[in-house]
Amino acid sequence: MNLKVYLKPFVVSLFLLLISGSIQSQNKVADAAKKPTGLSVELIREPRFTSIVDSQPEFGWIVPQDAIEQKAFQILVSTDKKKIEDNFGDVWDSGKVSDGNSVNIEFGGAPLKPETTYFWKVRIWDSIGVPTEYSEPQQFKTGVFGEKLTSHNWFQIERIRPVTFRKLKDGSYFADFGNDAFGTLELIYSAKVVETLTIRLGEKLLDGRIDTNPGGTIRFSENQLQVEPGKLKYQIQLVPDQRNTGAAAVALPDSFPVLTPFRYAEIECSSDLNAGDLTQVAYFNYFDNNTSSFSSSDTILNQVWEMCKYSQKATSFAGVYVDGDRERIPYEADAYLNQLSHYSVDNEYAIARRTIEYFMDYPTWPTEWQLHVALLFYQDYMYTGNTELIKKYYELLKHKTLMELEVERGLISTKSPKLNGAFMAKLGFADTTQRVRDIVDWPPAQKDTGWKLPKNWQQGERDGFEFMPVNIVINSFYFRNMEIMAEFARLLNKKDEEREFRKKAKRAKRAINKKLWVEGGGYYRDGTGTDHGSIHANMLPLAFGIVPDDYKPKVAAYIKTRGMGCSVYGAQFLLEAVYNAGEADYALELMTATHDRSWYNMIKVGSTIAMEAWDMKYKPNSDWNHAWGAAPANIVPRYLWGIQPKKPGFAEVEIYPQMSDLKYSSIKVPTIKGIIEASYERINPTVQQFQIMVPANMTARFIIELSLKSRTVLNGDEIPSKRTLLLHPGKNEITISEIR
C-alpha cells in the first residue's frame, strides 16, 4: 500500500481546512470592524445639544450596511465618559438581547435622574451572529421631567453671506441672500461720525428693488440703526409684530431676537460697504440637508421639489409646525402636510411629535382639522415605529375622530345635537362656547371674505362645494379615522374596540358609496340633498381608499375635468387620489404645470418658500412662507417613487414607482433605519432599469406594473416576471424589458 496515496488527500484537506479557518478568522476580524452609527435618543440624532424629558428614554441606531441584519444588541449607559470608553455601563448594561429591533429600545435601568449628563453606546450581532465593535459613544443630558413625552430638538443658527451684492444708483447697497429665511441682519460698519442707517428687509422685489408695499402678509420692514465711531459689529433690532408675537402665537425662546422672514436687504449709509459686511442670521430647527435629494429629467419638477424641501427647513424656526408668519399658530391640517413632507426630506421627528402633543391642549376650530389629528399620529407611528404617543393619548384621540357625532348609520354631521359644550371640552377647547365648523378648503368664497378676487374666481378654493348636513368631505376623513383607530386598538390589545372601529369603518364606506355616489354621473356628490360634485367630494374618497375598483376610472376621469380646483392644501389629497387611480401622467402634469395655479408659479413670482395660496390674487392676505403649500416634497418620494413604510418603523418598505414619461431620476429618502437611495433610467421605450440601495435591517417590496410579455432580471439573474419583487438589504439592480 502506498502511504503517500492516503496521506495526500488528508494533507490537502488539512491545508484547505487551515485556509478556511484563516479566512473565517479574517472575516470575523473584518466583521468586528463594523459598528453601529446614527445613534439617537428619543429619536434625536444629536441629543447633546438639547434636554431629554423622558426618564426612560428610547435609543436607536443604524445597523452597518455589511451586517445585513441585526440578530441581537447590547446597550451600555454610564454617567462617566471614561467608563463608557472602557465599555462599562454602570447605569445600565442591557446584556446581549436577542432582538432585531434597532429603534425604540427603551432604557431598562432605574429611571434616570433629571438634569444629568449620560453617555451611551451599542454593539450588535449581525446576520451570522458575529458581534460588531461598539459604536462611538454618544452624550445626552436629561432635563426636567414632566407630563409631555417629546423632547425638543435643538435649534440651528446659520450665518449666510449675500449671493448678490451691488451698489445702487442712489448710493445705497443691495444684498440678495439667495433664500428667504426667518432671521435678523448683522452688519459690520465703520462709522466716521454718529449716524443713523436706514435698513430695509423684504421678501419680494419690484423692478430690482425691495418692494416696500408687497401686499398680503409678504414681509417688508424699514429699520433705523444708530452707529458710532469705535464700534464695528451691529445687529438690527426688529420691532415685534403684535399679531405673530401675541398670546395666541407660539413663543420663541427668550434667547432669540425678534425674527422676520427676509431674502433681501437694502442699506442707506455714508461709508462704503462690501458683501462680507452683511450677514443674514437665520434660525432653524435641526435639519440635515444631506439626508435627502432628488433629480430627474424634468427641470421644472426638480426646481419644485427643491423649493418644497427648503420650505420644511425654513418654516421650522418655531420648534413646532406653525401656519406661517402671519399668525405663527399651529393648525392641524397645516401640520399634517408639514409632517408628511418633513419626514420625507429629513429623519427629524421631534418637531412633529411636539406639535402632536401641542394639539391635545390647543385644538383649532375647523371640523376637518380635528380629523387630521389621528392622521398625524398614524404617520408618526408608521415612520418611527414608536407607540408612546398612541398609548398616552388613545382615549383622548377617540373624541377627535368625532364618532360621537354620528347622525345616520355610518355617517357623522356637525348638525348633531351632541355637538355641545361638553363635547367641545372633550376635544380640548377651553372655551366651550365654540363649535367646530366644516371648512372643506381654504379660503372660502368671495362673499364670505370681502376680497376682490378675479371675476372668474368667485368660489374661493372650494370648487363650488355645497354644504349639506351630511358632508362627504368630513365623512371621508371619518372613515380613515376609523381605520386608524382600529389599528391603534389592535396595538393596545383592545380587541372589542378594534372590532367596533372596523365595523364603523365598513359602515362609513358603505354609506358613502350608497348615499353619496351619483350613479348616472359617475361621481360623488358633496353631501346628502345635492347632486353637485366638487373636486373635493371625489379626491378625498379616492385618496382614502373608499372608491371601489370599478368606480376608480370614472372618479379619476371626473377629477381630471376639474383641473387644479382646490387650494395648495387640497392639492396634497388631489395628488394622492390621482396616483391611487394610476393616473401618474396627470399627477406629473399637475406638479410641473406653469400656469398661475401651480408650484412653479410660486418660484416664478420670486418666492423660495412655498406660498399660502397659488397666487396672491386668489388669497390677497397670503404669506410667502407657508409649508402647507409644499406637497411635492412628500408626493415625489411617496408616490412618484412610491417609497413608503409598509411596516411601522420601516421594518419593511414598499417601493412602487410611477414614473410617467420621466427619462431618468435619482432619489435619496431618509428613514429611521438609514437612507434609501434609488435611481431609474428608461434605456429605450421597452427597457427600464432601477438601482435600489436598501439599508441594513430592512426589507423592501418592489412593485412594478408589467405587461403580459416582459423579462425581469434581478442582480444579474433572470427571474419569473411578477408584480412584486422582494429586495434585500444592499444594492439591488433590476432590469425590466418588454418583449415585442
Task: Give the per-residue pLDDT at 15.
Answer: 40
The number of beta carbons lying within 10 Å of the beta carbon of residue 165 is 18
What Å distances lie between residue 362 and 91, 248, 331, 370, 437, CA to CA? 38, 10, 9, 11, 16
User: pLDDT tens digits, residue range 114-133?
Assistant: 999 999 999 999 999 999 99
Asked whether the beta carbons of 51 and 113 are under 8 A apart, the reply is no
Residues 6+ apart with CB under 8 A from 613: 443, 461, 567, 568, 619, 622, 629
Q: Residue 470 carries which side chain, given as an amino acid letter?
A: V
- Give the whole-number percent of the chain exceeding pLDDT 70: 94
What Å distances lie between residue 76 and 51, 64, 73, 107, 673, CA to CA? 20, 18, 10, 10, 20
CATH architecture type of domain 653-738? Sandwich (2.60)
Numbered ranges of CATH 2.60.40.10 in the chain = 34-141
Residue 739: pLDDT band (50, 70, 90) is confident
Residue 14: pLDDT over 60: no
User: pLDDT tens digits, residue range 247-274?
Assistant: 889 999 999 999 999 999 999 999 999 9
User: pLDDT tens digits, residue range 651-681?
Assistant: 999 999 999 999 999 999 999 999 999 999 9
Distance CA 609, CA 630 (A): 8
Asked whether the beta carbons of 106 and 386 are under 8 A apart, the reply is no
Residue 8: pLDDT over 80: no
H helical segments located in 59-139:
81-85
Residue 29: pLDDT band (50, 70, 90) is very low
Residue 419: pLDDT over 70: yes
Which residue(s) pair with 58 in the sheet?
106
Which of 411, 421, 381 lies closest to 397 in space, CA to CA? 381
Average pLDDT over residues 97-117: 97
Which of 606, 730, 738 lies closest to 682 in space, CA to CA? 738
Superfamily for domain range 34-141: Immunoglobulins (2.60.40.10)
- CATH fold of 363-438+459-586: Glycosyltransferase (1.50.10)
User: pLDDT tens digits, residue range 346-368?
Assistant: 999 999 999 999 999 999 999 99
Residue 30: pLDDT over 50: no
pTM reported for the whole predicted model: 0.94
Residue 16: pLDDT over 70: no
Task: Give the per-residue pLDDT at 458.
Answer: 60
Residue 21: pLDDT band (50, 70, 90) is very low
Average pLDDT over residues 86-90: 97
Asked whether the beta carbons of 735 and 702 are under 8 A apart, the reply is no
- Give the whole-number percent of the chain exceeding pLDDT 90: 90
Residue 562: pLDDT over 80: yes
Distance CA 332, CA 48 (A): 30
Task: Give the per-residue pLDDT at 105.
Answer: 98
What Å distances lie between residue 615 and 215, 216, 329, 674, 697, CA to CA? 12, 11, 22, 37, 45
For 91, how many CA atoms within 13 A lie in the half-sphere containing its CB?
A: 23
Residue 581: pLDDT over 70: yes
Average pLDDT, the chain: 93
For 196, how many CA atoms within 13 A lie in the half-sphere containing its CB?
A: 4
User: pLDDT tens digits, residue range 683-709?
Assistant: 999 999 999 999 999 999 999 887 768
Distance CA 143, CA 145 (A): 6
Asked whether the beta carbons of 217 and 621 are under 8 A apart, the reply is yes
Residue 17: pLDDT over 50: no
